[in-house]
Amino acid sequence: MIVTPLSPVMGAEILGVDVAHVLGDSDFETVRRALLDHNVIAIRDQHLTPAQHVAFSQRFGDLMVHVKAEYLLPGQPEVLVLSNKKHPDGRAMGFEDAGRYWHSDMSYVDEPPLGSLLYAVEIPPEGGDTLFCNMYRAYETLPNSTKKRLVGLRAAHSYVASFEGKTSSGYARDTLTDEQKAQLREVIHPVVRTHPETGRPALYVNPGFTLRIEDLPQDEAVSLLDELIQHMTQPAFQYRHVWKPHDLVFWDNRCTMHHATTYDPSFARHMHRTTVRGDRPFAA
């Protein structure tokens, strides 16, 4: 197996492994270590059935089932389909505009995913890249006065608010049903979280799902969130993943945010995503 960094800020590609088959402990450890060291890993040239994708993902922990039940793969509910393709009857095959704003997956649940594994089944000839941002770097490079200000601060995250365009991404999209809303509630997480495996601090607010900062007047919270978002989304902390066919990209949601980009809709983009349950975020 060969692990090669993809940019100075984060990301590595892995060649020479076939995750359709059960990995031996040493190969598994190489992949796990690469994720912790590089935060985003692109495992190239994989040929995976949904069951194999699920089985590989489960080596890292329990899988989560997304609330948007209409976009789960029939018979394999751990797989969320992100796609602009349509069924013959015109129904969408997948979540077309998922994640077109900066976010850390499902930060709106108590135990958000440690990571997500997105498999490129079909990609457009250009566009549809995924941007990633390194939230360790974002934290480390804050002025000391801001770091002090963040100690003990906690933020509210909400998927419902995000659907309504109330979070700072301002991105409102298709609706959640009443049944889906009933499965969701606001959750509170530290603004700076300690990565449970590396012990490193990372910023843990995102424009997609972070609604407010607890115990701060809303105008102060909005201005602090704006300041943090400006800082963390600067190009110096970003890696742009340009997809290759059959990439399996695994990102660590505990120390990154990501942002899907647009593409020419006359081309198909069809992806399968699994998400691995993580710990409740904490600040050491």
Hey, which residues are catalytic here? 103, 105, 258, 273
Counting Cα atoms < 13 Å in the Cβ hemisphere of 99 gives 25
Among 273, 274, 276, 281, binds ligand SIN (CB under 6 A): 273
Instruction: At 208, give phi and psi (nearest 5°).
Output: -65, -45
Q: How far is the CB of 260 from ligand SIN (least distance, A)?
A: 3
Among residues 118, 120, 99, 113, the alpha carbon closest in space to that of 64 is found at: 113
Closer residue to ligand SIN (CB): 115 or 281: 115
DSSP class of 87: -
**Token pair of 66 as six digits:** 């997304």
Q: How far is the CB of 246 from ligand SIN (least distance, A)?
A: 15
Q: Rounded CA gap, 117 and 52, in Å?
A: 12
Among 202, 271, 276, 278, binds ligand SIN (CB under 6 A): 271
Applying CB under 6 A, does 82 fall inside the site for ligand SIN?
Answer: yes
With beta carbons less than 8 A apart as the criterion, state whether 46 and 30 touch.
no
Q: How far is the CB of 248 from ligand SIN (least distance, A)?
A: 13
Q: Rounded CA gap, 221 and 260, in Å?
A: 26
Count CB atoms within 10 A of the CB of residue 202.
25
Among 99, 115, 207, 278, binds ligand SIN (CB under 6 A): 99
Closer residue to ligand SIN (CB): 28 or 267: 267
By the 10 Å C-beta count (0-12 exposed, 13-18 middle, 19+ buried), 267 is classed as: middle
Q: Rounded CA gap, 238 and 133, in Å?
A: 4
Closer residue to ligand SIN (CB): 98 or 211: 98
Applying CB under 6 A, does 98 fall inside the site for ligand SIN?
Answer: yes
- Here's the x/- map for ligand SIN, 229-268, by CB under 6 A: it reads as -----------------------------x-x--------
CA 54 to chain centre: 17
Contact positions with ligand SIN (CB under 6 A) in 119-148: 130
Binding site for ligand SIN (CB under 6 A): 82, 98-99, 116, 118, 130, 258, 260, 271, 273
